Amino acid sequence: MRVYIDTSVFGGYFDKEFAIVTEKFFHYLFSGKISGLISDTLVQELIHSPVNVQDLLQKTINAGCERVPATEDAEYLRDAYIASHIVSERYANNALHVANATLFRADVIVSWNFKHLVNPANERAFNGVNIASGYGLITIMTPSDVVKIVEVQNEGTETEKEV
């Protein structure tokens, strides 16, 4: 599973409410059970973050995550999301995360951002713009959802090995 990681997931690693499942998400990322995508946008957002967050980012980069560069196509798609009033200009980077994940064909965007990303109405709206622009659909989930999927897949693999 190719997972585009948004900025909120790095913060969730150090947040009491989200830490346990986010740690498990990164464990699966570092062990290769999921394949991560991180963008130049994410790196820029975290450049002035606390040292522990920067260390987690560096560990993620070192784990071999695919790096998504900034592109004109991503900016076009970001602007289309903003023009459609899915997010405001103030939250342009959230739209850029969705654009990056769409363009680089992530299976899922993983986020703890419930206001702008992990929101069924916004997901439908992002996908409406994607379809109108000739791109594919995107799914947005929490790290908890992704962890559950990985664990279910592992159960099937372990059962098959036992047979």
* Domain extents in the chain: 2-154
First to last CA, the chain: 25
φ/ψ of residue 33, rounded to 5: -75, -25
pLDDT in tens, 111-132: 999 999 999 999 999 999 999 9
Q: Class for domain 2-154, per CATH?
A: alpha beta
pLDDT in tens, 131-162: 999 999 999 999 999 999 999 988 765 544 44
94 to each of 27, 28, 71, 98, 143, how far by Cα in Å?
25, 24, 15, 7, 17
* Token pair in block for residue 156: 């099937």
Angle at 127 between CA 129 and CA 140, to 5 degrees: 140
pLDDT of residue 155: 78
CB-based contacts of 129, cutoff 8 Å, min separation 6: 77, 80, 81, 84, 86
